[in-house]
Amino acid sequence: QVRLMESGGGSVQAGRSLRLSCAVHGYTGKANVLTWFRQAPGKKREAVAGAYMTAPNRYYADSVKGRFTLSPDSANNVLYLQMDSLKPEDTATYYCAAALGISVPWWKLEDAYNYWGQGTQVTVSS
């Protein structure tokens, strides 16, 4: 049974850092794409950062460019998201999405992913 396990969320003050991790369990192949989405209360879920795990492609939303950094561990199907200079507007539940055994036409397309994690909460106070 395939599961995505997210960890690393928490509560921090603005300007601090957090590192999220997303690990794929129960899948014997190489993940194609792993992407972080987030959803703040009352808002639509949005794509934050995505990585093609066996290629150098990395994508970031404009709102996090220069502050968030992806580090894929393709050998272990793990994706890390280093979040620096956090802002209150980064407060959200962060979800990991995986495309396993399928292609993704556009990294921001939610329907392109076939597995999702349960989410991890990130709260940034001012």
Task: Report pLDDT digits (tens) over 68-106.
Answer: 999 999 999 999 999 999 999 999 999 999 999 999 999
Q: Which two tokens stand for residue 81?
A: 């998201």
* DSSP string of 80-118, one letter each residue: EEEE-S--GGG-EEEEEEEE-SS--SSTT-GGG-SEE--
The predicted pLDDT at position 13 comes to 98
Sign of CA dihedral 38, 72, 24, 84: negative
CA-closest candidate to residue 21, choices 85, 88, 73: 73
| pLDDT of res. 125 | 98
The Cα–Cα gap between 119 and 126 comes to: 23
Tokens representing residue 123 in the block = 């709260």
**pLDDT band, very low/low/confident/very high, at 19 (cuts 50, 70, 90):** very high
